[in-house]
Structure formats: structure tokens, C-alpha cells
A and B are shown apart, each in its own frame.
Chain A
Amino acid sequence: MASQEVLREEPSRGSFINDPRVRGIFFQALVLVLLVAGVWWVTHNVIVNLARLHIASGFGFLKGRAGFDISESAIAYSSDSTYFRAILVGFINTVIVAVVGIITATIIGFIVGIGRLSRNWLIRKICTVYVEIFRNIPPLLVIFFWYSGVLAVLPPPRESINLPFGSFLNQRGFYFPRAIWGEGSWLILVALLLGIAMAWFVARKARQRQMATGQPFPVLWTSIALIVGLPLLAYALSGFPLSFEFPKQSTFNLVGGFQVRPEFLSLYLALSCYTAAFIAEIVRAGIRGVSTGQTEAAAALGLRSGSILRLVVVPQAMRIVIPPLTSQYLNLTKNSSLAIAIGYPDLTATAGTVLNQTGQAVEGVVIMMAVYLALSLITSAIMNVVNARMALVER
């Protein structure tokens, strides 16, 4: 007892220089001072430099007239629109290419990843070659390859390649029929939403019934019937309001239809192919991470191979797959900024143009960083929700 008292009263014999707490505080104070000094110096320099270049700081410039055209825009835009609208157009383009790219990359990635685990030697090798090629070349090179190597050397519009469903492929991109929604076509949309809702409800009920009684219900076919059948019914009932505008040959170009420009096409294809190689590896690792004991136990319970995959292997594999998959989605979103190299007007490209025109370098870069950070955070938030639903529920 006494010795403990003595120990407590004598904290440290050494010099206070060797006390980790004092050292920690001193070191942090040093870092803080250096940081503040650095920030002050940088801010001072920026202010001096901006004054020298006669650039007003602040985000007021966003209201100015943009004065440049954007080749692709999902919302109304002309060169008379504001800088803000120009950046918004770029942002929407980034989101479009990221979302479409993520969906395609996931599909290709899962197919290739499962293919690498196939019993079939040929399929396995084809998938391995795919992964090893795309993982080891820069994404920018893949984009250039699609853009200058493949799409740019397609035939000119007059000799367009005819594809099924009245679509065409030529130097200027990919043309497909544009849907024209006539009077009463809102009914189709409502029917589609209703179909999805009903399918979800049926799936839920079927699950509950199977849990309670063990009797299965053909959910898949019912869902397909509901999701496809209801809109078709609505289409017929509302008097076939949907028509298509087909692209047509004119003297120099294709007229009508919906045009997908080669810039978007090459960016989309390149990002999908490139990211798919990484997703394939993640999927492979995920499936291999589920021990064979699980598969064997499921087989011993009498499940069929399809059910084993769906009910036992995939749910466990998804737990391993989702976190790295999230970072691949983030990578794809960030890689979409490579669009600037081929002139697809994404956020980086439009914000870069605005930055060059106005000289508002600080604000431009801040906007870019903020938007990409926000996109990253939103994507990870969504994937975290998915992950939480998939995660192992332990007692």
C-alpha cells in the first residue's frame, strides 16, 4: 500500500523534455504554428497575385454569360447561359457517364469474374486474358483507343453501318430511334411503376409464405409478367401512343433519331471495359472467399446448384465484394474526368473552360474538388447502406 502511494506521488524522474505528453503538445503546437504560417503566406501570395492580375475573388462570376458552346447537354443550354449553368451541364454529363458506366462495368465485371472461376478451361483463359490486358494499361489509353483507334476510323455518315432496330453506326457516333411519347403515354409510366410495386409486394408475400409453409411461389415469372405486362396493357389501352422517329439518310448526314456522340461512346466504353477488369478480380476474390464447406453443406441439405449459388454463396460473397466494389465505383466516377482529353464536356472540362475564360483559378478548382468530393461521399453513402443490409447479422 505504502509503496503504491510513493509511486503515485513520484510521476517521472526524468526531465520534462522526455515526457511524451509534453512532447506531444509541443509537437502539435509546432505543427499548428507552421500550418498557420503556411496558410497565411499562401493566402497573402494569392491576394497579391490576384490583385496583380486584376481578378476579383468570390463566386460572383458564376452569374456571367458563358459565351461558349457545349456539344452535349441534357438540359437547355446555349452560349448565352450563365457560367453556373455551364458547370451544371458538365456536372450532369459526369453523372450520366458515371451511372451508365457503373452499371455496364458491373455487368461485364461479374460475367468475367465468374468466368475466371469457370470449370471450362477456354472460358477461364479468355477471361484471364481480358483482365490482364485491361488492368495493366492506363484508362486514358483505352479512351484514346476507342476514340481515335476505333470510332474515328468508322465509315462516314453516307456509308453508315446498319445495325438492327433501325440504328446506325458511323464516324459521328451511334444513332438509334428516338421514342416519341404521344398523348396519354403517362399511363404507361404509371403502369410500369405499378408493376414494379406489385412485383415487390408479391416477392415479399411469397417469401413470407415460403418461410411459414415452405411452399415456393414462382416469383420471377410473376414479376416479369407484372413489370412487362402492365405497361404493355396500358400501351394498348391508351391507344398505342408511342411512336419512333427513325434516323434517316440525307445527303451529308443522318437526320433524326437519337445520336450518341463518339466522345460519350468512347468514354463510356473505355471506363466500362477498364473498371470491369478490376470488378472481375473483386468478384473472383469474393466467391473464392466463401469456403467450400459452405457449398458442400448446402449440397448436403439437398439444395440444387442454382439455389446453392443464389442462397448460400452469393450472399456471403457479396459481403466481401461490396467494400472494394464501392471504391471501384468511386474510381470510375473520378476517371470520368479523363473526358477532358477527348472533349466530352464533363464537369472537369466545363469547369476548366470557365476557369480559363475568367481566370478564377481558385474558385474553379474549389468547385471541382467540392463536387467530386460530394459525389464520392454520396456514392459511398449509398454503398454503405447496401453494405449494411448485406452485412453479417450476428447475435
Chain B
Amino acid sequence: MQEHDMSWVRTEMTLAQPAPSSERGLTAWIRKNLIATTGDAILTIVGIALVAMILPQIVNWAFINAQWIGPDRSVCATVAQGGIQPDGWTGACWAFVNAKFGQFMFGTYPVEERWRPIVVAILFVALLVPLLIPRVPRKGLNAILLFLALPVVAFVLLVGGMFGLPHVETSRWGGLLVTLSLSFVGIAVSLPIGIVLALGRRSNMPIVKLLCVIFIETVRGIPLITVLFFASVMLPLFLPAGVSFDKFLRALIGVSLFAAAYMAEVVRGGLQAIPKGQYEGADSLGLSYWQKMGLVVMPQALKLVIPGIVNTFIGMFKDTSLVIVISMFDLLGIVKQNFSDANWATPQTARSGLVFAAFIFWLFCFGMSRYSMYTERRLDTGHKR
């Protein structure tokens, strides 16, 4: 063995050095994310050109040149079009949205009665927000209030005709009121029906299974417009003469049935993902079918398919805009109807109204999808790979 005169063993770690300057800061970030290769650099230039071309135009149109208030079309039209703006002006006509805001929200709901939808909206938010925040207790009571009590209260308040409230025909409802009430009822109705259909499709009883498959596959194979046509043209034929349905109710039935078929497929996906051992375990405990499903399978299955359920909700929320084809006026319908108002007809009106409606729809859908992502993370109990 050779002896070392000089040996040195380090007893403590050296301090970590800062990353080299080429790996830090803005320059490194730009180098990595924007100009890593020649191809990247070209793409970046194309991208910058695209943004530089589009963004200023959008900002100009929506904010800088936009007209926010005004009595009529003259503020949004150029001189040649009979307005006050210089020739070549283009900008959003938010004045139109401003003037029609009440209609966009409530349709032709009588102005002196509009406090009623507002009260319903406040109740809705007051019940929904605590339900969405996980830390707030009493979820069960909250859900019962939201899904059972609120619809009754909302029905009394919105329709009226009792407790001294004047009756308001559903044909006078419109705007966001229709969009929200259609989608709320649709969501509340389609989920239970969808669950039942999914269970039916996986049932051992051949007749029940066949009926569920036929219903689900037929509805999924045809467009919602056809279903709405069906609800508006054929339902009256199916009922005895003299019995007639409210148009709003007919649309509601159509939308709910349509969403239920999609919901059933989503729930079925969740049911299939639950291992067989769970079913067998529940059976061996002597649970009945409904106990097994309600206590063991469904809680796990529904948790797995939350993204799918929310996607179906989002789809349904967007689909409510189709009721325009059976001449009901939801948010999009009422915006479109107001294009023909001679008082406001300018080249900018349609664009402004549609951008406003798109923004509202976008807010709701984006909010829903973000909330579903949050729930998914929170409920992720490690079952998923």
C-alpha cells in the first residue's frame, strides 16, 4: 500500500454557484424560448408580425376608436353613412350595447318587474358561490337549496301569477335570462337522467339496455336543431288536441334530453373505469343494487369524469344559443334581433353586439372549464395513473 503524504478530503460542500450568465435573465429566456434555432427565429418573426398586424387593430377598434355612449346610430356611423364620425372611421359601437343592455339581459321582460330576475340572480349567486368553495360547510343543505328550493322560488318569481305578482309570459323572457335558466335547468335535469341512462346501458336487463342504447345513439347521431324541431313541431302532435305546452318548456325538454344522452356516455366512461373488484366488494357486503351504485360505484365514477361532465355542461351552455331557430330569444338571439333596429343600424353594430355576446359566453364557459380543472386537481386522490 502506498502512503500518501498529501491527501485532502473535503468535509463540507461548496456553496452552489449561480448559473452562468448565459443561462439567466431575459437574454437566456429569449434565447431559449424565442430564437433557439434558425427555424424558431423565423417562427418568432412570423409570430411577431402576426401579432403586430392584428393586436393594434383590435385595440384600436375595441377601445381607442370605440364609442361608449350615445343616443342613436349617429355616434357609430361615418358622415357618409349619416353619422358624425370622420370617413374611414372604424370602431366598436359599445353605445349600442349600452343602450340595449337591459334587453340583452332580460329580453322584453316588463321593466317594472325586472327586480324579479335580479332577485333570482342574487339568490342563485348566493347559493352557488358557497357550493363552489370547498371550505364552506353544509354542502348537502346548500345543494338542496340550490337544486330543489331555488327552482321553485325562481319559478314563482319569474313566472308570477301568484302572491300578488303579475304574470309574465315566457314569450317575454329573453337575453341572458333565457340562456341561464335554460342551461341551469338543463344541467340540473340532464345529469340525473344521464346517470339513469348510463346505468340502464350497463344493466343486465336486455330490454332496458336496448332501449337506453337506442335512445342514446339516436340522440347523439342527430343535431340539436333536429331535436329542437322535434320538440317544437312534433310534441304538439304527440299530445291530445287542446293540450299545449309552453314553448319555453318545449325547448327545455329538447335541450335536457339532448344533453342527457351525452351525459350518459360520459358517466358510462366513468362506470367502466371502476375496477370490477369494487362492484364485487359491494356485492359481498350484501349491499343492494342502489346502495352499491350510490355508495360505492357512483362516487368514484363521477369523480373520475368531472372534466367530461363539465365539458358537457359547457357544450350545453353554448348549445342554448340554438333556440333561436325555434324563434326564442336567448342572449345571442336578442343581440341578433337588435341588428335590425333602424335606430342603431350601422356597419359596426353587428360586430359590436356579437363581440359583446361572445365575451359573455366566453366568461361563463372559460370560468366553468377553469373551475373543473381546479376540482380535478383537488379531487385527484391518487387513483389515476
Cβ of B229 under 8 Å from chain A: yes
Cβ of A369 under 8 Å from chain B: yes
Question: Chain B residues near A372 (CB, 8 Å)?
Answer: 221-223, 226
Q: A144 is contacted by which of B34, B336, B362 (Cβ under 8 Å)?
A: B336
Closest CB-CB distance, B334 to chain A, in whole Å?
A: 12
Question: Chain B residues near A132 (CB, 8 Å)?
Answer: 366
Quick one: which of B335-385 are within 8 Å of A by CB?
A: 336, 339, 347-348, 350-351, 354-355, 357-358, 361-362, 365-366, 369
Cβ of B154 under 8 Å from chain A: no
Question: Chain A residues near B234 (CB, 8 Å)?
Answer: 361-362, 365
Question: Chain A residues near B206 (CB, 8 Å)?
Answer: 28
The residue in chain A whose Cβ has the minimal distance to the Cβ of B321 is A138
Contact assessment for A362 and B237 in the assembled complex, using a CB-CB cutoff below 8 Å: yes
Cβ of B296 under 8 Å from chain A: no
Question: Chain A residues near B357 (CB, 8 Å)?
Answer: 141
Contact assessment for B369 and A136 in the assembled complex, using a CB-CB cutoff below 8 Å: yes
Interface-facing stretch out of B46-54, B105-113, B120-128, B188-196 = B46-54
Q: A361 is contacted by which of B50, B233, B336 (Cβ under 8 Å)?
A: B233
Closest CB-CB distance, A299 to chain B, in whole Å?
A: 16
Quick one: which of A16-38 are within 8 Å of B by CB?
A: 24, 27-28, 31-32, 35
Q: Chain B, interface size: which category?
A: 35 or more
Quick one: which of A346-387 are within 8 Å of B by CB?
A: 348, 352, 355, 361-362, 364-365, 368-369, 372-373, 376-377
The distance in angstroms between the C-alpha atoms of A334 and B205, with both chains bound, is: 32
Contact assessment for A141 and B339 in the assembled complex, using a CB-CB cutoff below 8 Å: no
Q: B223 is contacted by which of A31, A145, A150, A334 (Cβ under 8 Å)?
A: A334
Closest CB-CB distance, A351 to chain B, in whole Å?
A: 9
Q: B319 is contacted by which of A45, A138, A369, A377 (Cβ under 8 Å)?
A: A138
Q: B237 is contacted by which of A50, A330, A376 (Cβ under 8 Å)?
A: A50
Given contacts A121-B34, A132-B366, A148-B354, contact A27 B226 (CB under 8 A): no
Cβ of B132 under 8 Å from chain A: no
Question: Chain B residues near A348 (CB, 8 Å)?
Answer: 223, 225-226, 229
Q: B205 is contacted by which of A24, A35, A150, A376 (Cβ under 8 Å)?
A: A24
Contact assessment for A140 and B322 in the assembled complex, using a CB-CB cutoff below 8 Å: yes
Q: A149 is contacted by which of B236, B238, B354 (Cβ under 8 Å)?
A: B354
Cβ of A78 under 8 Å from chain B: no
Contact assessment for B33 and A120 in the assembled complex, using a CB-CB cutoff below 8 Å: yes
Contact assessment for B40 and A119 in the assembled complex, using a CB-CB cutoff below 8 Å: yes
Given contacts A141-B357, A348-B226, contact A35 B211 (CB under 8 A): yes
Contact assessment for A31 and B229 in the assembled complex, using a CB-CB cutoff below 8 Å: no
Contact assessment for B48 and A122 in the assembled complex, using a CB-CB cutoff below 8 Å: yes
Question: Chain B residues near A362 (CB, 8 Å)?
Answer: 234, 237
Question: Chain B residues near A32 (CB, 8 Å)?
Answer: 207
Cβ of A153 under 8 Å from chain B: yes
Question: Chain A residues near B336 (CB, 8 Å)?
Answer: 144, 148
Q: A135 is contacted by which of B208, B224, B233, B365 (Cβ under 8 Å)?
A: B365
The distance in angstroms between the C-alpha atoms of A377 and B217, with both chains bound, is: 10
Closest CB-CB distance, B337 to chain A, in whole Å?
A: 12
The distance in angstroms between the C-alpha atoms of A135 and B319, with both chains bound, is: 13
The residue in chain B whose Cβ has the minimal distance to the Cβ of A28 is B207
Contact assessment for A126 and B51 in the assembled complex, using a CB-CB cutoff below 8 Å: yes
Closest CB-CB distance, A5 to chain B, in whole Å?
A: 24
The residue in chain B whose Cβ has the minimal distance to the Cβ of A150 is B351
Question: Chain A residues near B229 (CB, 8 Å)?
Answer: 348, 352, 355, 365, 368
Contact assessment for A122 and B47 in the assembled complex, using a CB-CB cutoff below 8 Å: yes
Cβ of B241 under 8 Å from chain A: yes
Cβ of B171 under 8 Å from chain A: no
Given contacts A120-B47, A365-B226, contact A28 B208 (CB under 8 A): yes
Question: Chain B residues near A133 (CB, 8 Å)?
Answer: 362
The residue in chain B whose Cβ has the minimal distance to the Cβ of A147 is B350
Cβ of B230 under 8 Å from chain A: yes
Q: B314 is contacted by which of A126, A136, A352 (Cβ under 8 Å)?
A: A136
Cβ of A341 under 8 Å from chain B: yes
Question: Chain A residues near B230 (CB, 8 Å)?
Answer: 365, 369
Question: Chain A residues near B237 (CB, 8 Å)?
Answer: 45-46, 49-50, 361-362
The distance in angstroms between the C-alpha atoms of A42 and B318, with both chains bound, is: 31
Given contacts A138-B332, A140-B332, A149-B350, contact A369 B222 (CB under 8 A): yes
Residues of A whose CB lies within 8 Å of any CB of B are: 24, 27-28, 31-32, 35, 42, 45-46, 48-50, 52, 118-123, 126, 132-133, 135-141, 144-145, 148-150, 152-153, 330, 334-335, 337-338, 340-341, 348, 352, 355, 361-362, 364-365, 368-369, 372-373, 376-377
Knowing that A123-B43, A138-B322 are A-B contacts, what are 16 other residue pairs whose CB atoms are under 8 Å apart, sorted by A's residue number? Answer: A24-B204, A28-B206, A119-B40, A120-B43, A135-B365, A136-B365, A140-B321, A141-B357, A144-B332, A145-B355, A153-B348, A153-B350, A334-B223, A341-B325, A365-B226, A372-B223
The 8 closest A-B pairs by CB, nearest first: A136-B365, A148-B350, A121-B33, A334-B223, A138-B318, A149-B351, A337-B223, A122-B47
Can you list 28 contacts pairing A with B, beta carbon distance less than 8 Å? A31-B208, A42-B238, A45-B239, A49-B236, A49-B237, A50-B237, A118-B43, A119-B32, A119-B40, A120-B33, A120-B34, A121-B34, A136-B361, A136-B365, A137-B361, A137-B365, A138-B321, A138-B332, A141-B361, A144-B332, A334-B222, A340-B225, A340-B325, A341-B325, A365-B226, A365-B234, A369-B230, A376-B220
